[in-house]
Amino acid sequence: MRWFWIDRFLEFQSGKYAKAVKNISLAEDHLHDHFPGYPVMPNSLVVEGLAQTGGLLVCQYTGFQEKVILAKIPRVVFHFEARPGDTLIYSATVENVTEDGAMVKATSRLGDRIQAEMEVVFAYLDGQFQDKMLFDPVVLQHMMRILRVYEVGCDAEGKPLGLPPALAVPPAGT
């Protein structure tokens, strides 16, 4: 991922549920262009933050063995705009996992108000893409630590999450 549209995870239950936070600050460059004189977080970036929350949940569930892509957004509704100073809480719940992918429902909240609701379908790449690298494992491993997945995450039995073998990279020089 080149840009992170979430700041950190608050909760992370493998294969079930994740909650993340996004603080919207005037320090973010895109707010100065969208819209000049009336800064708002573009809805497309809220969608991306929700998709990252759900997508990392789906990826982690498979131990990062599957290459997961956003395939479709069948439904998205925005109730009001997000502005600088707002703290959005993204929640993603896995509704269904199949051999082809997963369906996730996600919401963005500002306090007790729902800011956005979304359904997203993720697909697993297969065949010709299996030996292609979508992300550098070192970068993905680092990102998961920055987002605190391993600090707040737990598996289906409630045990703390560990670094999956697919992301384990031997130290340099070995």
Query: Measured between alpha carbons, how far is 44 from 80 in angstroms, rounded to an integer?
Result: 13
> Does the residue 34 lie in any domain?
yes
Give the separation between CA 109 and CA 141, rounded to whole angstroms.
Answer: 28
Q: What CATH number does residue 143 fall under?
A: 3.10.129.10
Of 50, 67, 62, the C-alpha closest to 14 is: 62
Number of separate helices (H) and strands (E) present in the chain: 3, 7
Structure token digits, residue 98: 């199949």
Residue 74 lies in a domain: yes
Q: Give catalytic residue positions.
A: 34
Q: Which letter does DSSP use for residue 32 in this model?
A: G
Is residue 30 domain-resident? Answer: yes
Nearest to 48 by CA among 118, 124, 102: 118
The answer to the question of residue 3 being in a domain is: no
What's the whole-number mean pLDDT along residues 98-102? Answer: 94
pLDDT at 133: 76
Would you state the pLDDT for residue 172?
57
* Domain presence at residue 173: no
> Has residue 79 been placed in a domain?
yes
Instruction: State the average pLDDT for the chain.
Output: 90
Lowest mean pLDDT among 52-56, 108-112, 123-127: 123-127
